Amino acid sequence: MRKPSYEELCRQVKELENERERLKLKSAARLRKCRAKYDAMLDTVDAYMCLVDRNLRIIWANDKAKKIFGGDLVNRHCCVTCHGRKKPCLESSYCIVRQSFRGETVRHPGTIAVRKDGRKIYFNVMAKVVSRDADGKPCNVVKVYNDITQYKQVEEELKASMLLLRDNLSGTIKAMAMTVETRDPYTAGHQRRTADIARGIAQEMGLPREQVDGIRMAGVIHDLGKISVPAEILSKPGRIGAMEFSLIQQHPNTGYDILKGIDFKWPVAEIVRQHHERMDGSGYPFGYSGNQILLEARVIAVADVIEAMSSHRPYRPALGLDKAFAEIKQHRGTLYDEDVVDAVVDLFDKKEYIFH
């Protein structure tokens, strides 16, 4: 077989090189076309996306991200560009990209980012490894931002509205309390002090904040129903007769009737109606017992007794805290809830609680 000449070998090598170059150009064209196709697809996604390398620099971003963070964000540090920091973050526990490079898929709700015009925006952000090197180590992380600024604004407006409603409700409750106290000056401040003690008991029991707030709210107006009791009976200096006491016993029901139409967050009307019920069923107006009585009402019942016995009344001088505590301890588990009594004893003895 004839060996090819030197010139023929050179020609064949050149043809191979030309073919390789042609294939290379064809592959590059296909790659560009493929990349353009995927870039176009990613540009239609309703999210802000960028690709970050190990140095935390942005190596690619979709059009949506460029419009909000600036067209020059590629090759810039992601923390500086997207979050308005003066220098890259070093804390891996804070930086979700660093966390992602450890192999985690990280989601962070409510992240603050900074637009190219300096305005702050809120995002839910997800970061995930999308490519690895020949050794299997992560080399690129994609960050996906979803804009939740409008939701945050609505949330803040809702919070402001709730605070305003809460303040208005508190003002209404205080006005109701003052209405009762103007008719019964001898018990002025009784409802407020009872509410303060009841709140302290509830906190000592470890009740949720919402429940504590409901107890305090009900405590401030627990005697609202006394507005229907003649003033001469409320301020009578002597012993109250059976008929007069029967009128006073109606005040929990009257308070309930006044409050039942108000849309409280808590069962305030029912708490007010039950605050004179007792664990053994000897209370009024229904003679409820045990768990038939709301826990909130059981708390106010004990606070009510402590405040009433410790304060002056038209028909007797103040009996003092010692007698008040002797009363609730003596009837712990019969008239008064055991856990509530234990809590109030700890509150006054261990925490040295003082009410005014």
pLDDT in tens, 329-347: 999 999 999 999 999 998 8
- pLDDT-derived band at 205 (thresholds 50, 70, 90) equals very high
pTM of the model: 0.59
* Residue 50 pLDDT exceeds 80: yes
**Cα(185)–Cα(194) distance, rounded to whole angstroms?**
16
- Please report the pLDDT score of residue 343 as a whole number: 94
Instruction: Tally Cβ neighbours within 10 Å of residue 53.
Output: 18
Peptide bond into 317 cis (omega under 30): no
* Residue 42 pLDDT exceeds 60: no
pLDDT digit string (tens) for 52-107? 888 888 888 888 888 888 878 888 888 777 776 666 665 555 688 888 888 778 88
User: 17 vs 25, 26, 30, 31, 125, CA distance in Å?
Assistant: 12, 14, 19, 20, 48
- pLDDT-derived band at 14 (thresholds 50, 70, 90) equals low
As given in the structure block, the two tokens for residue 19 are: 């073919």
pLDDT greater at residue 94 or residue 248: 248
- Please report the pLDDT score of residue 285 as a whole number: 93
pLDDT greater at residue 268 or residue 144: 268
* Residue 256 pLDDT exceeds 90: yes
Over the chain, what is the mean pLDDT?
81
Q: Is 348 exposed, middle or buried (0-12, 13-18, 19+ CB in 10 A)?
A: buried
Is the distance from CB of 70 to CB of 116 less than 8 angstroms? Answer: yes
Domains of the chain: 37-147 (3.30.450.20), 164-349 (1.10.3210.10)
**Cα(291)–Cα(348) distance, rounded to whole angstroms?**
26
**Cα(344)–Cα(323) distance, rounded to whole angstroms?**
14
- Please report the pLDDT score of residue 11 as a whole number: 65
Q: What is the mean pLDDT of residues 241-267?
A: 87
- Please report the pLDDT score of residue 2 as a whole number: 60
**Cα(260)–Cα(264) distance, rounded to whole angstroms?**
9
Q: What is the mean pLDDT of residues 130-150?
A: 83
Termini Cα distance of the chain: 119
Contacts of 34 (CB under 8 A, 6+ apart): none
The rounded Cα 213 to chain-centroid distance in angstroms is 15
AA letter at 39: D
